[in-house]
Chains A and B, each alone.
Chain A
Amino acid sequence: MVVISDILVQGVQMLLVLLLAPLLTGFVRKMKARLVRRKGASVFQPYRDLLRLLRKEVVLADNASWLFRVTPYVTFAAIWVAAALVPTFATGLLFNWTADLIAIVALLGSARFFLALAGMDVGTSFGGIGSSREVMIAALAEPAMLLFVFCMALVAGSTQLSTVADFMGSSAVGLRVSLGMAMIALIMVALAENARIPVDNPATHLELTMVHEAMVLEYSGRHLAMIEFGAFLKLLLYISLIACVFLPWKIALFGTGPLSYAIGAGAYVVKLAVAGFFLALFETATAKMRVFRVPQFLGAALMLGLLGTLLLFVSRSF
């Protein structure tokens, strides 16, 4: 019985991330529109977009291979699994120990690997330009991400997200400069990984300025729906990650019953809304940078992570 209810809770989390992800993107878009005093589309527009894409026919390039057709499902599955492993409303779910933070990041890496390959598959220059820039950004983001993981592991003594969240929720953790630095580093990495402003522009359709969108330019119909859905999930994942590490407020402990789960879920939705609002605010306030300024941006994230780690060492030794 216990196992069944555990699996149920885990299943609820998998469904929850799936259902909330388009809403979050819709909310961010709505907020961005309101901030520039446009009315904006309904927050439910991403759902409608997905349904519309699912109903459309797929136009496949003449020389597209099986890899091109498999990739949307592979990337979606990898991102979904990763998103389901990040604690959202409760920690210590049944399968949380399947993968720690490093493995979750690597799962996202798998998704990106296949997407970059799909960009190369048709053999047009847009796919190539998107793929090559995407892997460059990834190559710069990954070391910064690892230093963030390192910083967290130093503080919480673990790379297991549930343990980290429990620790950060406890009173043992004080206000630390290193944590602030790690948080800024993580946010910078998250912006880059999700192809948000200032690294990439999710709304542009001028081919030469886009990275992620250029890579998936050849996709259409149900394939595009899966890829878009994957992107929504990835945004949700990073926000859940930031929330569960730095804001584990009201997150339910495992096995505390349906009521605290419900409170946890409510708190989670509030956190998503707050993070979505700040994302919209930030994106409205800044401009996209040139692609070769990205190394400096992510280099700053790397340095913040390193500095945070060193400060932790120094503060520990006294």
Chain B
Amino acid sequence: MSAVGLQMMCVAGLLGLAVLAIVLSRSKISTAVIYSATMVVSAIALIGSIRWLVGDTANATDLTLPIGLPWLGAHFRLDTLASFFLVVVNLGGASASLYGLGCGHHDPAPHRVLPFFPAFLAGMNLVVLADDAFSYLLCWEFMSLVSWALVMAHHREAGNARAGFVYLVMASFGTLALLLAFGLLAGPAGDYGFAAIRAAQHTPYVATLVLILMLLGAGSKAGLVPLHVWLPLAHPAAPSHVSALMSGVMTKVAIYGFIRVVFDLLGQPTWPASVVVLFLGGITAVTGILYAMMEKDLKRLLAYSTIENIGVIFVSLGLALGFQANGLKLAAALAFTAALFHVLNHSFFKSLLFFGAGAVLMSTGQRDMDKLGGLIHRMPFTSFVFLVGCVAISALPPFNGFVSEWLIFQAVLQSPELPQWALKIMVPAVGAMLALAAALAAACFVKAFGVTFLGRPRSPAAETAKEVDRYSLSAMFILAALCLLAGILPGLVIDALTPITIEILGGSMPIQADEPWLSIVPIAESRSSYNGLLVMVFITISASLAVFFIHRFASHALRRGPAWGCGFSDPTPLAQYSGGSFAQPIRRVFGTLVFHARDHVDMPAPGDIRPARLRIELHDLIWERMYAPIAGAVSFSSEWLNRLQFLTIRQYLSLVFGTLVTLLLVLAIWS
């Protein structure tokens, strides 16, 4: 069986499971059956795509099914780019299913999740495999709708209905943009196959329009600022393992769409395109992480941090566009590899973190960080893997997040080679924005971990939390191990990505397997190199040395006592530093500009015994300045048009007459 055939069989299997889930809907075994079967199918698809990516990538394989438009059929094709994204999708799918085996039993309404879960995975697989515009859009829409159903799984909870509504509106808008983009690409001849689009020559005018439409369409799905508004509402609303899939995987499918069209189908890019992408990416990274910093809901914090990572990936793609437009193949391959590496890394640690947040939600029923705390004592394993995820996402060595950030910085440092002044000046500035975003991400995850897992419990729920089940834990441990492995053996990943850069850009990074000591060298050793494995080994050796000497020569005495409270210990755990107070310095520095933040202090007069209060005023300016006016205008005009429903017959008749006259006049003037 051809490789694409295997993938399509897996997709068929997933769709079959969706049907089976409906059949079994009320049965007790349904959760175990569906999740374990989904896990097996995803694992098969995963192994198939990895084997194809690292093995025989010489020929893309394709398959045409006699469904869809009668004169077109449905084309599916497996090439290197698609197989990489299949790895991301199915790895996420398999781990989410494993997690679902554990957490699914806590779901109050499993029949609202089970049928849609495998269907969602099938949809994402199909988008990546699609090889003509029609099936692409159809699968894209299927993926959006199924994920909408998953967002609405717990529709009675406050806010979820609104989240679903906003998501639906934004998804429709995105699909509309994609529809127009593919319409432009197909041109008047109307051949919707990707092969034909790739072969055709596109005028600069069309290419620019397609780029903008793709930024709107794929960007709104991925969460580019300012099209991100649905994401922090919808991702946390879904059950946690679905949130992990939406944040860790579905945003990547959107990025796949962007890469497929802009890098593959459009042909040679022009440099102004990269300016737009770089600018949007930089803004997205910084804005996303600032929003995350202000957030106190753990899952929403993670969703905002997804926006940041999407920004990082877009910056990297923008760099690749800029280098490619100027024919700097090596630098373009470096930036592109960095983008793909970050796609993979983000799918690892974001899934891991959402699983961790789900575990906290499962055992405490709380997503509000200011009602948690001290969980490291009661959930030791969850807190350990969550810590790994936090370190990885904060781009700290020796974990994987650092490697991809490092590669992006190396690509940024290549910018002096660019001939255009706009890019020359812009790239260092965007690099500084990336550094800012990385440092803020570290701050944000110190806050997420510190407030949730450290300190003293802030609520009875946090005080009585229990460790979660083994399935959930094993899913998290596997992802944590992958975070470490990709961090210390990055050369393997980079080499596996080489066929993609050769196919898409026509250039590649040096083969990393040839480097001694498993280090990675993007350009040349004298320029820059990094060895995650040795860093890890060195840290381990020096930490062990320190521990050895301390335990050999220093005092072993240890006494437990109350914490130092300066003579006045905090009377209640609520007096601890909370998420809001931790974010205060950064709110003071950036918040006045980005959020119009204000602190209102209500201090009672001396002798007055009412409590002092601090109120923080934050504005979501993007929503207030951009979306609220649009929503207001729509609401106003629909109110106004609504009057047309209550006219008298005379008024209707005159309206019809008026319309007729106007149309005839227009016709008369036109011709």
Contact = CB atoms under 8 A, between A and B. Distances in A.
A128 B566 contact: no
Interface in A263-318: 291-292, 295, 302, 305-306, 309-310, 313, 316
A80 B416 CA distance: 33
Interface in A149-163: 149-150, 153-154, 157-160, 163
Given A135-B446, A140-B589, A143-B435, A120 B416 contact: no
A167 B397 CA distance: 27
Given A80-B542, A143-B435, A110 B560 contact: no
B442 A113 contact: yes
A292 B584 contact: no
30 contacts: A54-B550, A55-B554, A56-B555, A58-B557, A77-B546, A81-B538, A81-B539, A81-B542, A103-B406, A106-B395, A109-B395, A110-B396, A116-B450, A124-B564, A129-B577, A131-B582, A132-B581, A132-B585, A133-B585, A135-B585, A143-B432, A143-B436, A143-B439, A146-B432, A159-B410, A221-B555, A222-B554, A225-B554, A292-B589, A305-B432
A295 B406 CA distance: 25
Interface stretch (A22-30, A33-41, A93-101, A236-244): A93-101
Given A120-B451, A128-B577, A159 B550 contact: no
A19 interface: no
B435 A98 contact: no
What does DSSP make chain A's interface, helix, strand, loop or mixed?
A: helix
A122 to B, nearest CB: 5
Contacts of B575: 125
Given A103-B535, A313-B416, A160 B432 contact: no
Which of the listed residues B396, B425, B557, B576 has the most CB atoms from chain A within 10 Å of its own CB? Answer: B396
A67 interface: yes
A54 B450 contact: no
A290 to B, nearest CB: 11
A210 interface: no
Nearest to A317: B421
B424 A313 contact: yes
B562 A62 contact: yes
A186 to B, nearest CB: 14
A127 B451 CA distance: 12
B377 interface: yes
B557 A57 contact: yes
Given A132-B583, A292-B588, A295-B589, A60 B543 contact: no
B376 A67 contact: yes
B589 A136 contact: yes
A259 interface: no
A159 B394 CA distance: 21
A65 B376 contact: yes
Given A109-B396, A121-B376, 19 more contacts: A59-B560, A65-B376, A77-B543, A84-B538, A95-B538, A98-B534, A116-B450, A120-B455, A123-B374, A123-B454, A123-B570, A124-B565, A131-B446, A132-B447, A141-B439, A159-B410, A160-B529, A295-B589, A316-B416
Closest 4 CB pairs of A and B: A128-B577, A57-B557, A120-B450, A123-B455
B534 to A, nearest CB: 5
Contacts of A62: 560-563
Contact of B577 (A125, A154, A222, A313): A125
Given A62-B561, A102-B409, A226 B550 contact: yes
Interface in A209-223: 217-218, 221-222
B589 A103 contact: no
B586 interface: yes
A100 B573 CA distance: 43
Nearest to B396: A110
Interface stretch (B167-175, B311-319, B520-528, B645-653): B520-528
A267 B59 CA distance: 60
Contact of A123 (B402, B416, B435, B576): B576
A314 B498 CA distance: 36
Interface residues of A, number: 88
B455 A309 contact: no
Contact of A124 (B413, B443, B525, B576): B576
B558 interface: yes
B435 A217 contact: no
B443 A135 contact: yes
Nearest to A166: B526
A146 B409 CA distance: 9
Contact of B563 (A122, A153, A157): A122
A103 B588 CA distance: 29
A6 B450 CA distance: 42
A76 interface: yes
A103 B566 contact: no
B143 interface: no
B616 interface: no
Nearest to B538: A81
Contacts of A84: 538
Interface string B418-439: 0000001100110111111011
A73 interface: yes
B442 A138 contact: yes
B262 interface: no
B550 to A, nearest CB: 5
A131 B527 contact: no
Contacts of A179: none
Contacts of B450: 116-117, 119-121, 131
A311 to B, nearest CB: 12
B508 interface: no
A59 to B, nearest CB: 5
A309 B429 CA distance: 10
A61 interface: yes
Nearest to A56: B555
A65 B449 CA distance: 13
Contacts of A116: 446, 450
B432 A147 contact: yes
A147 B413 CA distance: 10
Given A109-B396, A126-B564, A221-B555, A132 B588 contact: no
B549 to A, nearest CB: 9
Contacts of B443: 135-136, 138-139
B547 interface: yes
Contacts of B125: none
B536 to A, nearest CB: 10
B542 A160 contact: no
Given A123-B563, A226-B546, A306-B429, A132 B397 contact: no
B538 to A, nearest CB: 5
A119 B563 CA distance: 12
B443 to A, nearest CB: 4
B152 interface: no
Contacts of B410: 159
Given A116-B446, A121-B455, A107 B535 contact: yes
A49 interface: no
Nearest to B429: A306
Contacts of B454: 65, 67, 117, 120-121, 123
B566 A207 contact: yes
A2 to B, nearest CB: 14
A74 B394 CA distance: 16
Contacts of A80: 542, 546
Contact of A153 (B413, B432, B589): B413
B391 interface: yes
B381 interface: no
Given A110-B397, A128-B582, A217 B525 contact: no
A291 B585 contact: yes
Interface string B161-195: 00000000000000000000000000000000000
